[in-house]
């Protein structure tokens, strides 16, 4: 039986919680706006040093730093620690977005830029807003959550295009097969082009190179305030403060009245 108590919360507590949420966003924006173009790396907290995927994450972090990009992780152990380690050893910015959990997360020692979050949703904004690409190594629910959120944002055009790479063919190929055969072929829940939104590989160099080349070809600085020229574009094509695209507001039935 769960030990959590879901008692009604006083309205005053919810009101003051808004300020805590605002504070996390403000601090996050202040710090992250200075990290420059970055690549977010996700993966299991349970991978230990010496594990194949731990070593691959170290190599990813090092390669990213050598290309002049920052590395963003969740700040914890396992794959997060490995990626931060590689970034730090490569002389780059090694960002850890730590989260307060019921069972304390131990921050890894390789972060040279560190933030602490209480709310998952604020933290997730930072992962996407300041990333020009994403690498996912084998992981659990959190890794899959970040992967599918990024896929959704890119698929719907709500986020600027970015390269998403999954490292670990043995781990990811079964999921990719299910996406193709069940989601696409059997139920037509996605479009053919959606199958090209991510790449699966076992090679850190290929993963990092794919993201860097894609970003440099796009030339769109994610998470950075729009230039005057960008501001002249149609409003729905500009980025919001949280790094997503404004889009076109949905029309209510009242506005649709009399229209086909």
Contacts of 144 (CB under 8 A, 6+ apart): none
pLDDT average, residue stretch 192-218: 96
pLDDT digits (tens, 9 = 90+) for 87-111: 999 999 999 999 998 876 789 999 9
- Going along the chain, which residue ranges are E strands? 38-42, 70-73, 94-99, 113-117, 131-136, 163-167, 198-201
**Tokens 């970040």 identify what position?**
146
pLDDT value at residue 240: 73
| Mean model confidence pLDDT for the chain | 88
pLDDT digits (tens, 9 = 90+) for 122-156: 999 999 999 999 999 999 999 999 999 999 999 99
* CA–CA distance, 199 with 208 (Å, rounded to integer): 11
Domain assignment present for residue 259? The answer is no
> Strand order in 131-136's β-sheet?
113-117, 94-99, 70-73, 38-42, 131-136, 163-167, 198-201
Task: With a cut of 70, say whether residue 82 has pLDDT above it.
Answer: yes
Contacts of 136 (CB under 8 A, 6+ apart): 41, 42, 43, 143, 146, 147, 164, 165, 166, 167, 172
pLDDT value at residue 224: 47
Domain assignment present for residue 136? The answer is yes
pLDDT digits (tens, 9 = 90+) for 44-68: 999 999 999 999 999 999 999 999 9
> How many residues comprise the chain?
260
In the chain, % of residues over pLDDT 90? 74
pLDDT value at residue 102: 86
pLDDT value at residue 222: 47
Q: Give residue 239's pLDDT band: very low, low, confident or very high (50, 70, 90).
A: confident
Task: With a cut of 70, say whether residue 14 has pLDDT above it.
Answer: yes
pLDDT average, residue stretch 209-213: 96
Domain that holds residue 211: 35-247
Q: Give residue 247's pLDDT band: very low, low, confident or very high (50, 70, 90).
A: confident
* CA–CA distance, 253 with 260 (Å, rounded to integer): 12
Residue 251 CA from chain centroid, whole number: 30
Domain assignment present for residue 257? The answer is no
pLDDT average, residue stretch 9-13: 73
* CA–CA distance, 260 with 246 (Å, rounded to integer): 25
Domain assignment present for residue 28? The answer is no
Domain assignment present for residue 25? The answer is no
Phi-psi group of 226: left, alpha or beta (phi > 0 → left; psi -120 to 50 → alpha; rest → beta): beta
- Provide the token pair at 66: 């050598």
Phi-psi group of 181: left, alpha or beta (phi > 0 → left; psi -120 to 50 → alpha; rest → beta): alpha
Overall number of domains in the chain: 1
- Provide the token pair at 101: 């959990």
pLDDT value at residue 173: 98
Domain assignment present for residue 256? The answer is no
pLDDT value at residue 3: 59
Who wins on pLDDT, 226 or 99?
99
**Residue 70: CATH number of its domain:** 3.40.50.450
């Amino acid at each position: 039986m769960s030990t959590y108590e879901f008692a009604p919360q006083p309205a005053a507590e919810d009101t003051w919680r808004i300020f805590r949420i605002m504070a996390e966003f403000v601090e996050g924006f202040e710090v992250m706006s200075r990290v420059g173009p970055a690549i977010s790396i996700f993966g299991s907290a349970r991978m230990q040093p010496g594990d194949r995927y731990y070593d691959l994450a170290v190599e990813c972090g090092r390669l990213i730093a050598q290309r002049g990009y920052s590395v963003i992780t969740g700040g914890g152990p396992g794959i997060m620690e490995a990626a931060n380690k590689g970034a730090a050893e490569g002389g780059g910015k090694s960002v850890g977005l730590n989260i307060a959990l019921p069972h304390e997360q131990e921050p890894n020692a390789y972060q040279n830029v560190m933030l602490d979050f209480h709310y998952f949703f604020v933290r997730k904004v930072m992962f996407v807003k300041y990333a020009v690409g994403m690498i996912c190594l084998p992981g659990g629910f959190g890794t899959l959550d970040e992967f599918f959120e990024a896929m959704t944002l890119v698929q719907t055009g709500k986020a600027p295009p970015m390269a998403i790479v999954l490292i670990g063919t043995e781990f990811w190929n079964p999921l990719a097969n299910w996406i193709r055969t069940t989601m696409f072929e059997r139920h037509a829940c996605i479009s053919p082009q959606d199958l090209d939104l991510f790449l699966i590989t076992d090679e850190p160099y290929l993963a990092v190179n794919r993201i860097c080349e894609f970003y440099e070809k796009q030339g769109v600085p994610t998470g950075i305030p729009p230039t005057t020229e960008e501001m002249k574009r149609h409003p729905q094509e500009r980025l919001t403060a949280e790094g997503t695209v404004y889009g076109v507001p949905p029309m209510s039935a009242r506005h649709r009245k009399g229209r086909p």
